[in-house]
Amino acid sequence: MKRTTFPGELLVSLRRGEGQSLREQLEGELRTAIQRGRLTCGAALPSSRALAADLGVSRGVVVLAYDQLLAEGYLVASRGSATRVASRPPARPAIGVTDEPAAGPRYDFRPGLPDTSIFPRRAWLSSLRRVLAVPDVETALGYPDPQGARPARLAIAAYLNRTRGTVARAERTVLCTGFAQGLRLVCDVLRQRGVTRVAVEDPGHGGQRADIAAMGLRVSSVPVDDSGLRVDRLTRLNVGAVLVTPAHQFPTGVVMAPRRRQALLEWASRHDAIVIEDDYDAEFRFDREPVGTLQGLAEDHVAYIGSTSKTLAPALRIGWLLMPRRLVDRTALAKLHADHGSPTLDQLTLAEFITSGGLDRHLRKARLLYRRRRDAMVAALQSHLPASKVRGVAAGLHLMVALPAGTDEDAVLAAAEQRSMRIYGVGPHRARDAGAALLLGYASLPEADIRAGVALLASCLADKAPGTKPRPIALTRIWDPAERRLLAGIAAEASIGGERQRR
């Protein structure tokens, strides 16, 4: 245990090798000291360099802890003078997002989750500060433009044109709260234009299929092979739109082949149909050339949707649509009717973050980290499950592992859950049964956890070899744990209500 003293004889103790990171511990100690008055108003804190040397930690640990407490209002800093305890620290502790950690599994391999611990808090905070420091910021604080704040649309359009090969323009960009909302807005607009049926990939995201159906549209499944969507199957269906993940097919990881891309756009132009392009994780590619967007090839037939959910954090809920000209106003109107527009300050912060180079810097760092984790997962699978067939390793934040024929996917998931490990099957994302497979996200787990988790997975699979008796688990067709929890709660509520009525 390392101890140090500084003004006011305050003792800070950091414990190594424990669950909480050193930064979190330091942050917690300082916050408590201020709340309990052990560190008094105006007291100067040591420089980050001095405190880091004293505690034997890297300076970054102290800088991040100070930054967090600055953001919470416990500390104040001005250029050229020491960081001090604020003269009026917050009356209540700042929201304690980590005070009561939800009881969850030891290892969670949720696909597509970025590592939120590397969220660039400091840079994001500086961007927010810069936005708030603009003299006429009050003009941005009225009801938002339902299409999205124009500076944000400009910044996002320029970023997408540079990195994704789109032909985005601010006038055709609509901001929303993420892919999920973007898809619903497009469905709303399609329905108004008389579309009744939308094609989706099979396998393809189960939640999105449900979202389309919830918007009152019918869904047709089109198989995916090693070149992507079977475009030839589209011609037999009477659909007005098709949802695709061309850069990195979800969940298989396949890249849509150039011939298929061309055939798809020809189909859309021939039938005056809309291709809904989900570009969810294209920033993360490890061993392959970048794949441009369909929107860049046919802007009048593609509704392109992206978000910050993979690049930064899903909780930001910032997304964007690039729409064909004839659908832009309808989409903005649908957004107005949905929620009167997304939060302007968040949009402007993102715009500042992009234009100041923060997003590029963050992505460079994230790519390196995720590649190492991807490598660790591939190596662990090779060593613990050498016969497994692994797909989709070249890009994205997850990979897919095909299970031996006859394996009961749900039974494997249930066995994993009993060992405090949450894994996800491809089942909820398939329209037709085509064999069991697992989707393993690697981006949010440290390498040691990836290795330990895969070893545990191998033991679950050994227990659940083909032919073992299926062990059904509730609501297995719902992949999202939060949705599963809510539906189970509603079902329980309904059965209590029914019971009461019977009595």
Ligand X SMILES: Cc1ncc(COP(=O)(O)O)c(C=O)c1O
Contact residues for ligand X (CB under 6 A)? 112, 178-180, 205, 245, 250, 278, 280, 307, 309, 314, 319
Cβ closest to ligand X, residue 35 vs residue 221: 221
Contact assessment for residue 330 and residue 192, using Cβ atoms and an 8 Å cutoff: yes
Cβ closest to ligand X, residue 46 vs residue 253: 253
Q: How far is the CB of 284 from ligand X (least distance, A)?
A: 13
Could you give the angle at which helices 48-55 and 59-72 cross, rounded to 10 degrees? 120
How far apart, in whole angstroms, are the C-alpha atoms of residue 487 and residue 481? 10
Q: How far is the CB of 193 from ligand X (least distance, A)?
A: 23
Cβ closest to ligand X, residue 112 vs residue 296: 112
Q: How far is the CB of 52 from ligand X (least distance, A)?
A: 36
Cβ closest to ligand X, residue 159 vs residue 280: 280
Cβ density class 143-156: b for 16+ within 10 Å, e for less: ebbbbbbebbbbbb
Name the 3-class secondary structure at 43.
coil
Q: How far is the CB of 428 from ligand X (least distance, A)?
A: 12
Would you tell me how many other CB atoms lie within 10 Å of the CB of residue 500? 8
Q: How far is the CB of 314 from ligand X (least distance, A)?
A: 5
Q: How far is the CB of 332 from ligand X (least distance, A)?
A: 19
Cβ closest to ligand X, residue 68 vs residue 177: 177
Cβ closest to ligand X, residue 67 vs residue 188: 188
Q: How far is the CB of 179 from ligand X (least distance, A)?
A: 3
What Rg do the C-alpha atoms of the chain give, in angstroms? 25
Cβ closest to ligand X, residue 124 vs residue 250: 250
Give the alpha-carbon dihedral of 489, 490, 494, 496, to 10 degrees.
20
Q: How far is the CB of 278 from ligand X (least distance, A)?
A: 5
Cβ closest to ligand X, residue 46 vs residue 178: 178
Would you tell me how many other CB atoms lie within 10 Å of the CB of residue 85? 23
Q: How far is the CB of 250 from ligand X (least distance, A)?
A: 4
How far apart, in whole angstroms, are the C-alpha atoms of residue 74 and residue 71? 8
Cβ closest to ligand X, residue 240 vs residue 251: 251
Cβ density class 334-350: b for 16+ within 10 Å, e for less: bbeebeebbbbebbbbb
3-state SS, 311-369, equals: CCCHHHCCEEEECCHHHHHHHHHHHHHHHCCCCHHHHHHHHHHHHCCHHHHHHHHHHHH
How far apart, in whole angstroms, are the C-alpha atoms of residue 111 and residue 295? 26
Q: Token digits for 476?
A: 């297995």
DSSP secondary structure, 97-166, as one string: TTTSPPP--SEE--TT---GGG--HHHHHHHHHHHHHSTTGGGGSSSPPTT--HHHHHHHHHHHHHHH--
